[in-house]
């Protein structure tokens, strides 16, 4: 556990964020390897299927992700206030909620998957593989939630290194299983999904065994867990807007595929690849924003709000440099990067075109994420939810739709950075108001 309320802000955030970034590098790595193996050993239809499954999965779990983020904020603030009794109550409550939520979502998702793919106009030749992949993934959702919930708890406690170690285990295991199930056993798309579920499950079970034996706070035993309604209501107050925000993002992803799908399997496959690339490029900004949220939560919990501004600017400087480097790499190597995933010339051409249009704007969404991290750490999640809704559903989707009527898929690509710009401006303007400072869980003496 790490107290982030003492010490130089930039050093603390960098040290806390670095294991998170590395952990997500490994997380994105096994997603990327998954796509590379699928694209090269199964085909472009399978590549499109894997890519199209993600936004549906994210839509189904987005609300739960929000509650988990709410728990991270609450744990960070209680930990900053040295209230360990409430820290333990928050952990117990989160585990119980995740268990029942995962069962419910798995059943609903498995039953509705085929209908959802047709609703977003997925090409018919892709639906069977996409549906099979999604159903297998949803069958292991309990393990996914368990692993990610445990990682979120540890981050709230200031521990970003332990989740990294277990993510490395998951990544290596997933790659090995991918090669075994897809390349050797030739299980096709089912092998890719099974490999991911097995890797997540192995990492979760390993983490729980280790933490039960070594961690002073986390001790997962179903007979000793207690659901505390008052703590859960606080989770809802913070997590519900975040969950809705994540749902807006997830539904926005589905809407993007709804726009892209009519342009054919090649365009869907290309978009599935560049979606992975964008996710990889966004990863440092998202992780530094999460680190900043924990930093802000602990410092506000410790009644040190004066450290927040310096933490924000330190994070902005670091993430901006990373964003510029990511933009340069993807621009210079757009075609070779696409060639890693497929040898289909048309898929490569479409993907390279997308990269050249969108990647110069990576610094914009970096700024948007980082500013949002401050508000999340303070417990102010309602206004960021409204900003996300506006940027996605008032700007991105309509602009992409109307531009696609005139310019085809290229018009869709241009609508994406326009939405980022609007979200960044609105987020920063709200930050300047300072109203987010009044939303903390901990009541401070004045």
Contact 38, 46 (CB under 8 A): yes
pLDDT digits (tens, 9 = 90+) for 409-444: 999 999 999 999 999 999 999 999 888 887 766 655
Query: CA 256, 430, 377, 233 torsion: positive or negative?
Result: negative
So what's the pLDDT on residue 323?
Answer: 95
Q: What would the two tokens of residue 400 be?
A: 């992409």
Q: What would the two tokens of residue 325 be?
A: 């480097």
pLDDT digits (tens, 9 = 90+) for 143-166: 989 988 888 888 788 787 888 888
pLDDT digits (tens, 9 = 90+) for 180-236: 999 999 999 999 999 989 998 998 888 888 878 887 777 777 777 888 888 888 878
Helix (H, G, I), strand (E, B) or coil at 136: helix
Taking alpha carbons only, the member of 288, 274, 278, 358 closest to residue 320 is 288
Contact 296, 378 (CB under 8 A): yes
- pTM for this prediction: 0.74
Contact 196, 139 (CB under 8 A): no
């Amino acid at each position: 556990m790490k107290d982030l309320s003492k010490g130089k802000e930039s050093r603390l955030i960098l040290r806390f964020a670095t294991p998170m970034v590395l952990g997500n590098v490994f997380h994105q790595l096994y997603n990327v390897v998954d796509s590379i193996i699928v694209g090269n050993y199964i085909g472009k239809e399978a590549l499109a299927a894997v890519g199209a499954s993600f936004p549906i999965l994210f839509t189904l779990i987005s609300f739960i992700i929000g509650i988990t983020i709410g728990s991270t904020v609450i744990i960070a603030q209680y930990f900053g206030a040295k209230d360990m009794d409430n820290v333990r109550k928050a952990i117990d409550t989160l585990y119980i909620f995740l268990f029942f939520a995962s069962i419910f979502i798995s059943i609903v998702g498995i039953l509705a998957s085929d209908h959802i793919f047709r609703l977003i106009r997925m090409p018919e030749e892709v639906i069977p593989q996409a549906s099979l992949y999604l159903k297998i993934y949803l069958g292991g959702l309990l393990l996914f939630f368990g692993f990610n919930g445990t990682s979120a708890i540890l981050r709230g406690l200031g521990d970003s290194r332990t989740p990294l170690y277990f993510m490395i285990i998951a990544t290596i295991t997933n790659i090995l299983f991918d090669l075994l199930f897809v390349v050797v056993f030739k299980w096709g798309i089912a092998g890719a999904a099974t490999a991911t579920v097995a890797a997540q499950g192995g990492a979760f079970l390993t983490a729980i065994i280790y933490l039960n034996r070594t961690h002073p706070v986390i001790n997962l035993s179903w007979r000793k867990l207690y659901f505390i309604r008052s703590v859960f209501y606080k989770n809802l107050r913070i997590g519900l807007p975040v969950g809705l925000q994540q749902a807006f993002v997830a539904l926005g992803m589905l809407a993007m595929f709804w726009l892209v799908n009519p342009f054919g399997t090649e365009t869907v496959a290309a978009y599935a690849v560049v979606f992975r690339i964008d996710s990889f490029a966004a990863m440092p900004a998202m992780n530094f924003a999460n680190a900043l949220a924990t930093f802000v939560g602990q410092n506000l919990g410790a009644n040190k709000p004066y450290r927040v501004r310096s933490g924000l600017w330190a994070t902005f400087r670091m993430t901006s440099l990373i964003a510029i480097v990511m933009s340069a790499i993807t621009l210079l190597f757009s075609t070779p990067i696409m060639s890693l995933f497929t040898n289909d010339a048309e898929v490569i051409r479409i993907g390279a075109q997308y990269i050249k249009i969108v990647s110069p704007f990576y610094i914009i969404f970096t700024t948007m994420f980082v500013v949002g991290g401050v508000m999340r750490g303070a417990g102010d999640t309602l206004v960021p939810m409204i900003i996300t809704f506006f940027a996605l559903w008032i700007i991105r989707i309509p602009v992409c739709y109307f531009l696609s009527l005139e310019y085809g898929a290229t018009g869709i690509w241009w609508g994406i950075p326009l939405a980022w710009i609007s979200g960044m401006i609105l987020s920063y303007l709200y930050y300047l108001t300072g109203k987010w400072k009044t939303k903390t869980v901990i009541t401070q003496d004045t």
